[in-house]
Amino acid sequence: MSRIVTFSLVLMLAASALGQQVSASLDRATTSVGESVNLAIVCTDFSPSSQPVMPSIPGLRFASAGTSRQFQIANGKRTTSYTLNYQVTPLKPGNYSISPIQVRAKTRLLRPAPLTLRVLPAGQRPANDDGLSQYGYVRLLPTKTTAYVGEAIPVEIQLHFIDGGNVKMPELTADGFNVAPFPEHKQSRMQKGNRIYQVLTFRTAATPLKAGQLQLGPVKQSMVLRVRKQQSRRSPFNDPFDGFFDRYQQVPRNLEAKAQPITVKPLPAEGRPASFNGAVGRYTMQAKASPLEVTVGDPVTVNIQLTGQGAIEALNLPKLDWPGFKSYEPSVTTKKENPLGLLGTRTFEQVVIPENDGITEVPRVEFPYFDPVASRYRVLAKGPFPLKVNPGDPPVATGAAAGPAPETGEPEPQTDILPIKHHLGSLGQAAPFIARPGYWLLQSIPLLLWLGALAWRRQANALASNPRLRRERQVAGRTRVGLAKLDTLAESGEAGGFHAELAEVLREQIGLRLDIPAEGITGDIVHSPAANSLSEETRSDIRRLFTASDQASYAGSQTTGEMKTHLALLKEVVSALK
């Protein structure tokens, strides 16, 4: 028995290790001396137990540029990505191979593939580079590169730019795919090296329509970049303000991301149900029929709900061709739980009419689909539902055969004209509306609403003209929510989430105090000239909190007492920064 348990544990560890991967990439393969490039090391499904070991390469200098963590759920499988960013600064020209990079995952040592970096002399650029790629670029990021026919693939298109506008919607070339419309994009910011980029993220879903090696992309996107002009040396005899007000120029730019290869596998013929109609994903089904006692010719409503992950709006039921029933086209409603429509519920209301009283049940409802995670067909089924059908009423004779109508003894309705009343009676004694207090109360409601709207508008204008006040209120609200969340995380002992939230609150407070963007702030901020206004004790506390947050990313769990100590220190730092 112990051998079986040991063997099972070994298999579980091996399966977990197979999912752990590490990869490295540069944001560009060619640069010039003095111009830094960003090196991203992505750890999939694990967090490194220590800092990666970077190679010692003469002519290149490596510096840490922060970390980030992402979670993604695709087809019911959760994937975690832990990214370590490094700033690579070349000191002399040449062709460099960045290798080996060593990342430790507990007892294993992982190495990503070598990277190649070409460094040109200072000020020189490649022949096909106009120098604008550093101001804006676009990326195409499909969540997977292998899929089945009919399987929806979530896709992200990220537009990075420093400054600009007039952004057009991306144009995605997708021959052999059905591409969903783009929902509202999301906007964020990120720091790469010493530059801060605006990031617009466009999401869509691409569903392959045929099998084979397909190309998703390229992506083309146009915008106008705001680029700083190269300032030429001016003569002392020229106008001293010449060029002062036109240091930037508007440059139209067509950005492009390369196509990504997608391997599309056909749906297997083995095990395919006869009623399969092309549904691919992972679903559950609920079904019910009502009423369960009817008369021949009365309708019965069959309600069917399909919930899960996949192309929800493309789901259709197999035709319910049941003997003894007359059926109609179902009414369909769809409820999407994410903007791409890859998660939600599709409801069918099917009306069927029993044609004879010999029917005893509503037949079983089946929905076949293909599960791309398990690579097999599945069939969901509900029913049958017991049904009692009563015989219909006998036909009623019409015309003369029916005989005279029986007398009911009820008086016929009165058709005489009623006399006109010349006096109002009690209605004439009522007080007029203008003399009632309620009338004046109703008249004052629009005035009160107008005064409230005027006060709200003045407050909104005050915030719009005072960015500093607006940011102070936003940071105050973020800090209040963050401190409450930290207290809960400390009580529950969630060290990872606690220190991630602690670092986020600390960055917001430091960014507000020093009037700099909060993204990318690390413990090294205490050495910058901007932090000279802070006391030595405050800088020491900031450095201590960032160190504890970084250590929590690699070390194991911490005690509740340690987390409460760090929370108390954070509150002292927040008070000092105010």
Phi-psi domain of 217 (left: phi exceeds 0; alpha: psi -120 through 50; beta: other): left
Q: Is the pLDDT of residue 5 over 50?
A: no
**What are the respective helix, strand and coil percentages of the chain, to the nearest 5?**
25, 35, 35
- In terms of pLDDT, which residue wins out, 436 or 9? 436
Closest Cα to residue 574, out of 499, 507, 494? Answer: 507
Q: How confident is the model at residue 333 (pLDDT cuts 50, 70, 90)?
A: very high
Note the pLDDT of residue 396. 56
- In terms of pLDDT, which residue wins out, 377 or 459? 377
**Does the fold of domain 130-230+246-266 match that of domain 18-125?**
yes
| CA distances in angstroms from 445 to 319, 439, 452, listed in the order given | 57, 11, 11
Q: Is the pLDDT of residue 327 over 70?
A: yes
Q: Is the pLDDT of residue 8 over 60?
A: no
Give the percent of the chain with pLDDT over 90: 26
Top-level class of domain 130-230+246-266: mainly beta
Q: Is the pLDDT of residue 314 over 80?
A: yes
Top-level class of domain 281-390: mainly beta
pLDDT digits (tens, 9 = 90+) for 518-573: 777 887 777 777 777 888 888 888 888 888 887 776 665 577 888 888 889 888 88
**Residue 524 per-residue DSSP state:** G
Note the pLDDT of residue 128. 57
Identify how many contiguous H helices and E strands the chain contains and give both numbers. Answer: 6, 32
Note the pLDDT of residue 13. 46
Residue with tokens 């730092």: 573
| CA distances in angstroms from 296 to 242, 254, 292, 515, listed in the order given | 92, 67, 12, 77
Pick the range with the lowest mean pLDDT from 106-115, 273-282, 346-355, 523-532: 523-532
3-state SS string over 467-490? HHHHHHHHHHHHHHHHHHHHHHHH
Name the residue ranges covered by the structural domains of the chain: 18-125, 130-230+246-266, 281-390, 467-577
Q: How confident is the model at residue 240 (pLDDT cuts 50, 70, 90)?
A: low
pLDDT digits (tens, 9 = 90+) for 144-182: 889 999 999 999 999 999 888 899 999 999 999 999 999
- In terms of pLDDT, which residue wins out, 79 or 482? 482
Note the pLDDT of residue 378. 94
What is the CATH topology of the domain spanning 18-125? Immunoglobulin-like (2.60.40)
Note the pLDDT of residue 426. 61
34-50: average pLDDT? 83
pLDDT digits (tens, 9 = 90+) for 46-79: 888 888 888 888 889 898 887 877 766 655 667 7
